């Protein structure tokens, strides 16, 4: 009987090896590592960044970006692109999403060499046009099939038309097949036909409205799609005239939104939210303001000005009647809370941001959370970093009943702040030895810190 079981086990192992080709269990990450090793030292390649996903045992996918040396000749770029196509074609057991960037152009890499060459050629064609600063064509899983970045709002429609002509010529028919043109920091101006699976969408009317408005008003942002147009005037006093101007243009069925200056005001904004938004509008460190219902969210040019902006908000009648208030700097700093508790939350956020190695801070009290939550990201996992965290923040976090989540150079842990903590289970399963060593150190250092 034992011999039969042994034979069965041997057959099972043989079947597994036959099905997987003796490949690694973590196929995606292994393929990403191999890809980086293959191209990191190639002549003309400046950098290679590849990440793998292990979808199932022995199967996976790779996302990779290959960037060439600045000023590399088109001929050499073509050789690298051809080599990339051949590589992913010969490694067909992996799902590949590879893009090649050469100066102002980026193209997707297909296992079909002629398809890759066509996309790279089209990207160069677009980048050579007047007013086009960069072009992206056929990048797998990208937000668009063809994208051009232009140098002025006045040529946005022209850039879109060029992108659309390329998309039609290349015949994209699967997934995102949309053409897109953008301008400005954070893509303040966007035209996107939102095409999927090769469908034809009608965007002529929204584009005409945009161009007509641009000739009469100073705009600081716009988003144009087949179904909607969102315009932001440079000055808040231009909102009403711009609304009247656009309303005079027949546009049945088109969703139109007009905003102005720094403030985005939703229709349900309360008088208190309007008052706070108005009080902060002229502050030099305030970039944008969003008022919705009883909530006001403010984007700052620097979180160093957060206390100053908060003081201006607190001096506004009705501030304490708000349902929520938030200050943010980009994606690296955010503090959100009820007005009465906001100063204490901001103090915690600022103290966290001052810690060595901290790159991102999010301190918030949200209605759907039982406890206030502090999320931190560190670029280091040294014991000294964790010691600084505990020494600086433990008394405040314990007193406030905060839930803490952080990513310390890839070590992800969370816990409820108490004098002696117990780490919550990892969502990815059991910790390996290195992760467990870090977890043990975290608990030890936190528990030893004064509370």
Q: Which helix (H) or strand (E) holds 286?
A: strand 286-292
pLDDT tens digits for 364-412? Answer: 998 878 899 999 999 988 999 999 999 999 999 999 999 999 999 889 9
Asked whether residue 16 carries a pLDDT value surpassing 50, the answer given is: no
Average pLDDT over residues 104-115: 97
Least confident among 46-60, 71-85, 192-206? 46-60
The three-state DSSP-derived secondary structure of 173-212 is CCCECCEEEEECHHHCEEEECCCECCCCCCCHHHHHHHHH
For residue 11, what pLDDT is reported? 38
pLDDT tens digits for 307-330? Answer: 999 999 999 999 999 999 999 998
Quote the distance between the C-alpha of residue 291 and its chain's center: 23
Long-range pairs of 316-322 with CB within 8 A, sequence gap ≥ 24: 316/275, 316/276, 316/279, 317/275, 318/271, 318/272, 318/275, 318/276, 319/272, 319/276, 321/270, 321/272, 321/294, 322/270, 322/272, 322/273, 322/276, 322/294, 322/295, 322/296
For residue 8, what pLDDT is reported? 40
Residue 21's pLDDT band (cuts 50, 70, 90): very low
d(CA 283, CA 225): 32
Q: Helix, strand, or coil here: 424?
A: coil
d(CA 389, CA 256): 47
How many other C-beta atoms can be found within 10 angstroms of the C-beta atom of residue 324?
20
Q: Helix, strand, or coil here: 250?
A: coil
Asked whether residue 294 carries a pLDDT value surpassing 50, the answer given is: yes
Residue 56's pLDDT band (cuts 50, 70, 90): low
For residue 418, what pLDDT is reported? 96
Asked whether residue 13 carries a pLDDT value surpassing 60, the answer given is: no
For residue 23, what pLDDT is reported? 59
For residue 9, what pLDDT is reported? 39
Provide the β-strand partners of residue 263.
260, 289
At a CB cut-off of 8 Å and minimum separation 6, what does 5 contact? none
């Amino acid at each position: 009987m034992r011999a039969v079981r042994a034979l069965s086990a041997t057959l099972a192992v043989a079947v597994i090896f036959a099905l997987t080709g003796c490949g690694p269990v973590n196929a995606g990450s292994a393929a990403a590592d191999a890809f980086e090793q293959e191209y990191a030292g190639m002549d003309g390649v400046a950098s290679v960044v590849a990440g793998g996903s292990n979808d199932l045992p022995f199967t996976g996918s790779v996302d990779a970006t290959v960037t060439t040396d600045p000023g590399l000749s088109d001929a050499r770029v073509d050789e690298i692109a051809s080599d990339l196509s051949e590589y992913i074609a010969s490694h067909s057991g992996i799902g590949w999403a590879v893009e090649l960037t050469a100066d102002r152009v980026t193209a997707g890499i297909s296992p079909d060499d002629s398809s890759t060459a066509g996309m790279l050629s089209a990207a160069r064609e677009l980048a050579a046009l007047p007013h086009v600063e960069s072009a992206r064509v056929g990048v797998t899983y990208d937000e668009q099939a063809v994208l051009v970045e232009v140098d002025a709002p006045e040529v946005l429609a022209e850039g879109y038309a060029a992108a659309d002509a390329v998309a039609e010529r290349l015949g994209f028919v699967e997934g995102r097949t949309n053409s897109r043109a953008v301008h400005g920091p954070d893509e303040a101006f966007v035209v996107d036909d939102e095409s999927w699976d090769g469908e034809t969408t009608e965007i002529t009317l929204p584009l005409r409205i945009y161009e007509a408005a641009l000739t009469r008003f100073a705009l600081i942002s716009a988003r144009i799609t087949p179904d909607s147009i969102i315009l932001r005037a440079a000055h808040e006093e231009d909102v009403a005239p711009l609304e009247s101007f656009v309303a005079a243009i027949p546009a049945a069925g088109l969703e139109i939104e007009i905003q102005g200056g720094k403030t985005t005001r939703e229709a349900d904004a309360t008088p208190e939210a309007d008052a706070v938004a108005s009080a902060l509008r002229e502050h030099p460190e305030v970039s944008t303001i969003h008022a919705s219902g009883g909530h006001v969210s403010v984007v700052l040019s620097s979180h160093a000005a957060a206390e100053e902006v908060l003081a201006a908000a607190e001096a506004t009648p009705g501030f304490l009647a708000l349902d929520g208030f938030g200050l943010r700097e980009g994606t690296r700093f955010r503090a959100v809370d009820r007005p009465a508790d906001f100063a204490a939350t901001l103090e915690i956020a600022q103290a966290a941001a001052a810690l060595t190695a901290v790159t991102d801070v999010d301190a918030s009290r949200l209605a759907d959370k039982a406890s206030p939550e502090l999320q931190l990201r560190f670029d280091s996992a040294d014991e000294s970093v964790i010691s600084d965290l505990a020494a600086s923040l433990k008394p405040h976090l314990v007193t406030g009943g905060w839930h803490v989540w952080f990513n310390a150079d890839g070590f992800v842990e969370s816990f409820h702040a108490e004098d002696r903590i117990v780490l919550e289970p990892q969502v990815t399963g059991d910790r390996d030895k290195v992760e467990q060593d870090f977890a043990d150190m975290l608990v030890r250092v936190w528990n030893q810190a004064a509370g």
